[in-house]
Amino acid sequence: MRVSGPVKAQAPSFRVGPPQVLLVGDDAVVRDSLARALESEDFAVCVSSPGVAAVHRYAATDFDLVVLDVGVEDGGCEETLGRLRMIRPDGAIAALTVDASDRGRFSGAGVVLEKPVSLPVLVRILHALAVEPSADRRRRLATGKRTWVSARGGCPDLSNL
């Protein structure tokens, strides 16, 4: 189910229905393909390009997750990540990147996945992020703990989420 505009915010402690995902990426073809894949896995997806549009949607809507697809040229995704984190310091944010070697670039993301990543691994991680209590996420982010998933590493141990 694709959502063309903001979804009405619901009570943060309980949500009925599929996890609400804000998918941010600078390549429309990749972004739309990923949106279709996530929708097939029962996520409700709202797509956005990086920058002001993504920041406004995130501020106006109680998304369960953000998936930030950082392309080769970045296209403003890193700056958007910082702004999203300022709006909701404990928000569930996963970054997808072709180059996870510079880990400092993604300090605002709780999970960084190196592309290519298989859909089953991505879905498992997003579900784990969606149910992680915000207090646990706040503690994990405050201590700088991130989950890094290598393209060659298979499915990681998600016990720290």
Query: CATH code at 49?
Result: 3.40.50.2300
User: Quick check: is 5 in a domain?
Assistant: no
Structure tokens given for 150: 């290598």
CA distance linking residue 3 with residue 44, whole number of Å? 7
Lowest mean pLDDT segment, chosen from 2-6, 31-35, 74-78, 137-141: 2-6
User: Quick check: is 159 in a domain?
Assistant: no
Q: What is the pLDDT of residue 80?
A: 87
pLDDT digits (tens, 9 = 90+) for 143-155: 766 666 665 555 5
Q: Could you tell me if 123 and 34 are in contact, meaning their C-beta atoms sit under 8 angstroms apart?
A: no
Using the predicted structure, report yes or no on whether residue 13 has a pLDDT greater than 80: no
Instruction: Give the gyration radius of the chain's Cα atoms.
Output: 14
Q: Could you tell me if 107 and 89 are in contact, meaning their C-beta atoms sit under 8 angstroms apart?
A: no
User: Quick check: is 8 in a domain?
Assistant: no
* Structural domain containing residue 58: 20-149
Lowest mean pLDDT segment, chosen from 24-28, 108-112, 125-129: 108-112
User: Quick check: is 52 in a domain?
Assistant: yes
User: Quick check: is 128 in a domain?
Assistant: yes
pLDDT digits (tens, 9 = 90+) for 41-68: 999 999 998 889 999 999 999 999 999 9
User: Quick check: is 7 in a domain?
Assistant: no
User: Quick check: is 86 in a domain?
Assistant: yes
pTM over 0.75: yes
Phi, psi for 82 (deg, rounded to 5): -60, -40
Q: What is the pLDDT of residue 110?
A: 83
Number of domains the chain contains: 1
User: Quick check: is 13 in a domain?
Assistant: no
